[in-house]
């Protein structure tokens, strides 16, 4: 084959980049001079330099500029990459995160070759320009989550390999653009929005990119364009007066001369867009605060789209709700409006301690290190008090939308979510402690624990890429959780048996079942473990008793190839039949994206199978195949039907084929 380079105009900046680029040129020279039978001896040197070069800013551009030359020199000779026309885009993502640096470098060089051809900077006998662009478009579409989304457990475990993959994908997107993947991108955004995460910054950035693409280049008519326009309008023009995205100042001028009918239409338009997507436009926030100051009409319920429970809360607590809008809803914190709407529709203001707890939150002043953390995480657009109040409303309104992001302490994120769901006034009590005193006090079996007296835990000084409540609390919760673990040292079995009820609350069942021997990590009476889970949670085997309170559980997370990633904290929310009559477990995963592929058909669903906002679900047996720890009531009646042995065998097979492959039972 022959390859002709037409342009080598990519700029090279920085001393390291220049030095490594020169080293790569020398390595390519040697490869070019090598005889065909000796190419393999020199390929490794080229790949080694590529691996070091792509770690540098601008390194991918330097590789791309030399891609055609490397191909012609024989870099791909003798490998699967030697025939680009038969390469499969679905394999690219896995190779970019390979443990073998040579495979990573080969994939990077191959993608650089595709980019050079797609951009018209090089030609290739077996690869035409449109074919190269289509291949790269497919690569982007198949890896959108890594390009835009927050990493999940499997991605975070890859560390630098995942970072490389993301950099490569970003580089491709910068050259190819995202127009061709519009339909996939729109579907991905709607999938994320169905989960109603508290953190929507990534999604808003994705929609902004779509808005730019539609404005500059348009898109072909069809469902993808309609879906994209729905998303764009929800953020940048959800109502008649804001449809052309005129800016806040012009928008406020327009509504200041609107009649009552026009204002009502604006309010209802905002509510429709907000509940359709879970996103709140900056115009919506401006409308809410303007309405409080400029009209006596009660537009707030309409603009929040309140249901019957929310309207009842409005009638009883209007003064408090108006103060919450004034103090928390701003164009810098618009999502607080959705949190407030969902909070009111939950009816938790009728829980006696909640009104005084929110009154206290309104007057709260954040001090010291806590104030610095909030300011560091969210910037100076509004005060830390406003940011925290907005975060409180979002967390209380969307308990299952709390996500840990890149924070390694899933137990703390789970605790915040479950307190918001079960014990919201207790959560506000903890928020007040940390905001005012930068310390947290709890007890473990009567022993006082104070976070101020404890060393840093896994979370260090806490995450800044989370919601304000998590930014405030997680570092302290992590220290306390670790201290509870230390207080359990020497006890037989898994310490979660004692920690979870003390850490989360009285509603955690006091008995605990563990699938593995804590000392060896091997399965221990696994069939008994499975039978007990059926008897505790499956309606057909527990007398039809529903779950009254969510229960903490531990799962063995696996990747799409069924390889064990690590232990992870989740919560079992409910067990029920889906629309097709299949028994499913609906659970909370303290991650910003619960939709994950755990291999062998165990793919977590987040919508379309009876899920409520924020829930993930799996069929009962598939879910149980990844559980390693759960809580059970010690006084539960043991009467009832025994689980079908065929079901036990099915679950065992799924587990042994994945995380338990090397954990066979102890005898």
541 and 637 inside one domain:
yes
pLDDT for position 308: 96
When comparing pLDDT for 267 and 637, which is higher? 267
Residue 448 DSSP label: E
Indicate whether 281 pLDDT > 90: yes
Look up residue 111 and give its two tokens. Answer: 């993608």
When comparing pLDDT for 431 and 32, which is higher? 431
461 and 534 inside one domain:
no
Indicate whether 663 pLDDT > 60: yes
455 and 381 inside one domain:
yes
pLDDT for position 35: 87
Q: Pick the range with the lowest mean pLDDT from 78-87, 524-533, 539-548, 564-573.
A: 78-87
Q: Does residue 405 fall inside a structural domain? A: yes
477 and 524 inside one domain:
no
pLDDT for position 353: 96
User: Could you tell me what percent of the chain has a pLDDT over 90?
Assistant: 56
pLDDT band at 220 (very low <50, low <70, confident <90, very high): low
Indicate whether 664 pLDDT > 90: no
The DSSP secondary structure of 617-631, one letter per residue, reads EEEHHHHHTTEEEEE
Question: Could you report the per-residue pLDDT of 480-495, keeping only the tens digit for each?
Answer: 999 999 999 989 888 9
* Domain edge (last residue) among 147, 177, 207: 177
Determine the average pLDDT of the residues in 382-402.
96
SS3 at position 85:
helix
Q: Find all residues with CB under 8 Å of 235, minimum gap 6, and list them.
A: 204, 207, 208, 211, 279, 281
442 and 570 inside one domain:
no
pLDDT for position 9: 42
pLDDT band at 639 (very low <50, low <70, confident <90, very high): low
pLDDT for position 13: 52
pLDDT for position 126: 76
Question: Could you report the per-residue pLDDT of 67-125, keeping only the tens digit for each?
Answer: 989 998 989 888 888 888 878 888 888 889 888 888 899 999 999 999 998 888 888 87
Indicate whether 362 pLDDT > 80: yes
Q: Does residue 219 fall inside a structural domain? A: no
SS3 content of the chain, % helix, strand, coil (to 5): 55, 10, 35
CA geometry: angle 374, 375, 381, nearest 5 deg: 120
Range of the domain at 96: 3-177
Indicate whether 460 pLDDT > 70: no
Determine the average pLDDT of the residues in 38-53.
88
Indicate whether 649 pLDDT > 70: yes
Q: Find all residues with CB under 8 Å of 192, minimum gap 6, and list them.
A: 149, 202, 203, 593
Most confident by average pLDDT, 144-148, 203-207, 397-401? 397-401
pLDDT band at 647 (very low <50, low <70, confident <90, very high): very high
Indicate whether 638 pLDDT > 70: no
421 and 518 inside one domain:
no
pLDDT for position 193: 92
SS3 at position 573:
strand
pLDDT for position 124: 82
Tell me how many domains the chain contains.
3
pLDDT for position 462: 67
Question: Could you report the per-residue pLDDT of 155-183, keeping only the tens digit for each?
Answer: 677 778 888 898 899 888 888 876 667 77
When comparing pLDDT for 597 and 325, which is higher? 325
Q: Does residue 297 fall inside a structural domain? A: yes
pLDDT for position 3: 42
pLDDT band at 41 (very low <50, low <70, confident <90, very high): confident
Determine the average pLDDT of the residues in 548-566.
89
Cα–Cα distances in angstroms (integers) from residue 624 to residues 136, 390, 549, 647, in the given order: 38, 37, 19, 11
pLDDT for position 173: 86
Determine the average pLDDT of the residues in 541-557.
92
* Domain edge (last residue) among 120, 150, 177: 177
pLDDT band at 8 (very low <50, low <70, confident <90, very high): very low
Q: Pick the range with the lowest mean pLDDT from 333-347, 599-613, 625-639.
A: 625-639
482 and 593 inside one domain:
no
Q: Does residue 602 fall inside a structural domain? A: yes
Q: Does residue 243 fall inside a structural domain? A: no
606 and 642 inside one domain:
yes
Q: Does residue 80 fall inside a structural domain? A: yes
569 and 616 inside one domain:
yes
Q: Report how far residue 489's alpha carbon sits from residue 69's, in angstroms, rounded to the nearest whole number.
A: 61
Determine the average pLDDT of the residues in 129-135.
83
Q: Are 572 and 587 in contact (CB under 8 A)?
A: yes
Q: Are strands 616-619 and 627-632 parallel, antiparallel or unpaired?
A: unpaired
Q: Does residue 403 fall inside a structural domain? A: yes
pLDDT for position 24: 92
When comparing pLDDT for 459 and 402, which is higher? 402
pLDDT for position 6: 41
CA 167 to chain centre: 19
pLDDT band at 40 (very low <50, low <70, confident <90, very high): confident
Q: Using H for helix, E for strand and C for coil, what is the string for 342-393?
A: HHHHHCHHHCCCHHHHHHHHHHCCCCHHHHHHHHHHHCCCCCHHHHHHHHHH
Average pLDDT, the chain: 88
When comparing pLDDT for 123 and 628, which is higher? 628
Q: Report how far residue 109's alpha carbon sits from residue 107's, in angstroms, rounded to the nearest whole number.
A: 5
Q: Report how far residue 435's alpha carbon sits from residue 370's, in angstroms, rounded to the nearest whole number.
A: 6
429 and 304 inside one domain:
yes
pLDDT for position 7: 40
Indicate whether 644 pLDDT > 80: yes
* Domain edge (last residue) among 177, 204, 232: 177
515 and 464 inside one domain:
no
Determine the average pLDDT of the residues in 622-636.
92
Determine the average pLDDT of the residues in 308-334.
96
pLDDT for position 345: 97
470 and 531 inside one domain:
no
Q: Does residue 650 fall inside a structural domain? A: yes
Indicate whether 328 pLDDT > 70: yes
Determine the average pLDDT of the residues in 284-289.
96
pLDDT for position 1: 38
SS3 at position 261:
helix
Q: Pick the range with the lowest mean pLDDT from 1-10, 252-261, 554-563.
A: 1-10
């Amino acid at each position: 084959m022959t390859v002709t380079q037409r342009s080598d105009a990519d700029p090279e900046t920085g001393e390291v980049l220049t030095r490594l680029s020169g080293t790569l040129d020398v390595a390519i020279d040697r490869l070019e001079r090598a005889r065909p039978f000796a190419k393999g001896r020199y390929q490794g040197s080229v790949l080694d330099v590529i691996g070091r070069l792509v770690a540098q800013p601008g390194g991918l551009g330097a590789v791309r500029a030399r891609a055609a030359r490397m191909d012609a020199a024989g870099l791909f000779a003798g490998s699967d990459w030697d025939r680009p026309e038969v390469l499969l885009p679905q394999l690219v993502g896995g190779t970019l995160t390979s443990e073998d640096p040579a495979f990573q470098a080969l994939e990077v060089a191959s993608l650089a070759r595709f980019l050079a051809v797609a951009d018209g900077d090089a030609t290739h006998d077996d690869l035409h320009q449109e074919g190269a662009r289509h291949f790269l478009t497919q690569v982007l579409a198949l890896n959108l989550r890594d390009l835009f989304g927050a990493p999940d457990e499997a991605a975070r475990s890859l560390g630098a390999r995942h970072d490389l993959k993301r950099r490569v994908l970003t580089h491709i997107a910068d050259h190819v653009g995202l127009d061709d993947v519009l339909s996939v991108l729109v579907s991905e955004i709607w999938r994320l929005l169905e989960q109603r995460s508290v953190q929507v910054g990534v999604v808003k950035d994705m929609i902004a990119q779509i808005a730019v693409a539609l404005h500059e280049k348009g898109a072909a008519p069809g469902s993808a364009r309609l879906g994209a326009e729905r998303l764009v309008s929800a953020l940048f023009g959800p109502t008649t007066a804001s449809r052309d995205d005129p800016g806040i100042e012009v928008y406020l001028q327009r509504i200041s001369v609107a009649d009552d009918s026009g204002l009502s239409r604006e309010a209802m338009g905002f509510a429709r867009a907000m509940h359709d997507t879970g996103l709140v436009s900056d115009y919506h926030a401006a409308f809410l605060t303007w309405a409080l100051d400029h009209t006596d009409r009660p537009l707030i319920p309409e603009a929040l789209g309140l249901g019957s429970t929310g309207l009842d809360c409005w009638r009883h607590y209007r003064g408090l709700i108006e103060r919450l809008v004034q103090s928390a809803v701003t164009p810098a914190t618009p999502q607080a409006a959705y949190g407030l709407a969902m909070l009111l529709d939950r009816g938790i203001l009728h829980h006696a301690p909640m009104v005084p707890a929110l009154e206290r939150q309104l007057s709260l002043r954040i001090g010291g290190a806590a104030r610095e953390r909030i300011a560091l995480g969210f910037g100076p657009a509004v005060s830390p008090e406003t940011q925290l109040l907005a975060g409180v409303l979002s967390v209380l309104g969307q308990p299952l939308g709390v996500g840990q992001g890149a924070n390694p302490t899933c137990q703390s994120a789970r605790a915040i979510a479950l307190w918001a769901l079960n014990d919201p006034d207790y959560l506000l009590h903890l928020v007040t402690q940390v905001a005012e005193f930068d310390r947290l006090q709890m007890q473990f079996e009567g022993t006082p624990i104070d976070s101020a007296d404890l060393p840093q835990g896994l979370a260090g000084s806490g995450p800044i890429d989370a919601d304000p409540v998590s930014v405030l609390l997680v570092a302290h919760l992590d220290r306390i959780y670790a201290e509870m673990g230390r207080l359990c040292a020497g006890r037989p079995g898994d310490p979660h048996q004692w920690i979870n009820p003390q850490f989360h609350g009285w509603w955690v069942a006091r008995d605990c079942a563990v699938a593995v021997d804590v000392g060896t990590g091997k399965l221990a009476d696994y069939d008994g473990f499975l039978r007990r889970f059926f008897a505790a949670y499956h309606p057909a085997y527990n007398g039809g008793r529903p779950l009254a309170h969510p229960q903490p559980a531990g799962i063995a997370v696996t990747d799409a190839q069924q390889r064990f990633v690590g232990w992870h904290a989740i919560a079992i929310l409910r067990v029920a039949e889906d629309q097709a009559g299949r028994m499913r477990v609906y659970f909370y995963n303290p991650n910003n994206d619960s939709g994950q592929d755990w291999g062998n058909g165990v793919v977590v669903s987040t919508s379309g199978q009876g899920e409520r906002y924020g829930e993930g679900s799996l069929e009962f047996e598939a879910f149980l195949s990844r559980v390693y720890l759960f809580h059970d009531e010690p006084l539960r009646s043991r009467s009832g039907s025994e689980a079908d042995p065929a079901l036990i065998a099915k679950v065992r097979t799924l587990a042994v084929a994945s995380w338990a492959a090397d954990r066979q039972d102890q005898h």
